[in-house]
Amino acid sequence: MNLILFGPPGAGKGTQAKRLVAERGMLQLSTGDMLRAARTSGTELGQRVAGVMDRGELVSDEIVIALIEERLPETEAAGGAIFDGFPRTLAQAEALDRLLKGRGKRIDSVIRLRVDNDALLDRITKRFEDEGRADDNPETFKTRLAAYEAQTAPLIPYYQSQGRLHEVDGMGRVDQVAADIDRALDRVPA
């Protein structure tokens, strides 16, 4: 099964993706993690994306699509992928559909985590204090949220019109959100 965890920054996608990996053995593909890893290891790609990420803007479609494409073969061996933080633009969503189709696969479900903006700011402020991720500072976070509203939220009607979107309340406790996701996944046709 291929699954997209969808939602604004701070919605809890990474937390839920890690749980699904542990419980179902699927592979998490987080473009944010891949880009941060590229920066940490100081690759040319890492250097190229650093400024954009630190401003809270989106990295180019071309770069993130290539990162995902490279990893697709592994996801098949794992029984499926959890896409976390990808796709973030319509062009990325269309590319993902095309790439999967070329491999005889598809996105089976899109789980949208709904969280209100005040809660997001609280969560990210706390993560900034705990983990010190530079792009979690309140100013940059506003840019990230604006990028989500302008470029990523339009994917909601895209997936809705294909009947693949499932909404989950992301405001509850981590285990409640997890249970709601499991319920949504149980309804996905095999």
Give contact residues for ligand ADP (rule: CB under 6 A).
9-10, 31-32, 35, 52-53, 56-59, 64, 85-86, 88, 92, 135, 144
List residues bridging with 82 in a β-sheet: 3, 28
Q: Which residues contact 82 (CB under 8 A, 6 or more apart)?
A: 3, 4, 5, 17, 20, 21, 26, 27, 28, 29
Could you give the C-alpha distances from 46 to 34, 51, 63, 83, 119, in angstroms and in order? Answer: 9, 10, 11, 20, 31
Catalytic residue, chosen from 18, 24, 127, 164, is 127
Q: Which residues contact 65 (CB under 8 A, 6 or more apart)?
A: 91, 92, 95, 96, 99
> Which is closer to ligand ADP, CB of 2 or CB of 92?
92
Place of tokens 């969808």: 6
**Are the C-beta atoms of 8 and 145 separated by less than 8 Å?**
yes
Smallest gap, in angstroms, from Cβ of residue 140 to ligand ADP? Answer: 8
| 127: annotated active-site residue | yes
Smallest gap, in angstroms, from Cβ of residue 186 to ligand ADP? Answer: 26
Smallest gap, in angstroms, from Cβ of residue 190 to ligand ADP? Answer: 28
Catalytic residue, chosen from 106, 133, 142, 183, is 133
| 114: annotated active-site residue | no
* 104 Ramachandran zone, left/alpha/beta (phi>0; psi -120 to 50): left
- Tell me the two tokens of residue 173: 């406790």
Q: What is the C-alpha separation between 169 and 180, in angstroms, rounded?
A: 8
Smallest gap, in angstroms, from Cβ of residue 52 to ligand ADP? Answer: 6
> Which is closer to ligand ADP, CB of 90 or CB of 185?
90
| 106: annotated active-site residue | no
> Which is closer to ligand ADP, CB of 138 or CB of 183?
138
> Which is closer to ligand ADP, CB of 35 or CB of 110?
35
User: What residue is closest to ligand ADP based on CB?
Assistant: 32
| 142: annotated active-site residue | no
| 88: annotated active-site residue | yes
Active centre residues (catalytic): 13, 88, 127, 133, 144
